[in-house]
Every structure is written in C-alpha cells, then in structure tokens.
C-alpha cells in the first residue's frame, strides 16, 4: 500500500528509518515500512508488512529516526494491522 503525504518535513535521507511503536498492554509487532524520500522530504510510505495485533487507539505511533524533522506520522490500524500512514505537516 502506497501512502501519499501532505507534507514530508525536511532533511530526511534514505538512511533514516521508520519505526512502529505500540505502547499498549499487549503490543503489536511485525510491521515493516519503507519511505520514498526525495529532496529531503518524505514523499510516500509503503507498508511492506502490516504486522499484527496493533492497537487502534493512540498508543501506537510511527516514528522517523534520523536527521529529518517536521513530518508527523499517524498510523491507520484496521483489524490489528497497520494499513496506512497519514503524514501531516505539524504547522
């Protein structure tokens, strides 16, 4: 699934990683994401593996790890699987 952002932040590189963090009492696992980064901005995110057992409440977050800033990533969970990422500019 290819997810198109509204704004992808600045300063990201292909070496930056995306992590799915689930802080619920029985956390989900296995989701794998791949970012398409052009000119330092996250242009899209591909869900390579939706994982399983993720919580649809606010305890599941997606984090971009690296030098980039400004992209806010919201996971979309359906039936325990991460099916989409909404990327918004925090401004």
CB 47 within 8 A of CB 31: yes
- Return the structure tokens found at 12: 């990201």
Q: What is the pLDDT of residue 91?
A: 41
**b/e map of 17-30 (b: 16 or more CB within 10 Å)?**
ebebebeeeeebee
Q: How far apart are CA 55 and CA 6, in angstroms?
A: 24
pLDDT in tens, 40-79: 888 888 899 999 998 877 677 787 777 888 787 888 999 9
Q: Are 46 and 2 in contact (CB under 8 A)?
A: yes
What pLDDT does 42 receive?
86
pLDDT at 90 over 50: no
- DSSP lists the bridge partners of residue 77 as 82
């Amino acid at each position: 699934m290819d997810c198109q952002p509204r704004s992808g932040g600045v300063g990201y590189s292909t070496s930056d990683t995306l992590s799915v963090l689930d802080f619920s009492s029985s956390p989900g696992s296995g989701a794998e994401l791949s970012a398409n980064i052009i000119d330092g901005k996250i242009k899209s995110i591909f869900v390579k593996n939706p994982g399983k057992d993720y919580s649809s409440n606010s305890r599941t977050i997606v984090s971009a790890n690296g030098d980039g800033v400004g992209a806010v990533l919201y996971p979309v969970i359906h039936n325990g699987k991460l099916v989409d990422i909404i990327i918004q500019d925090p401004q």
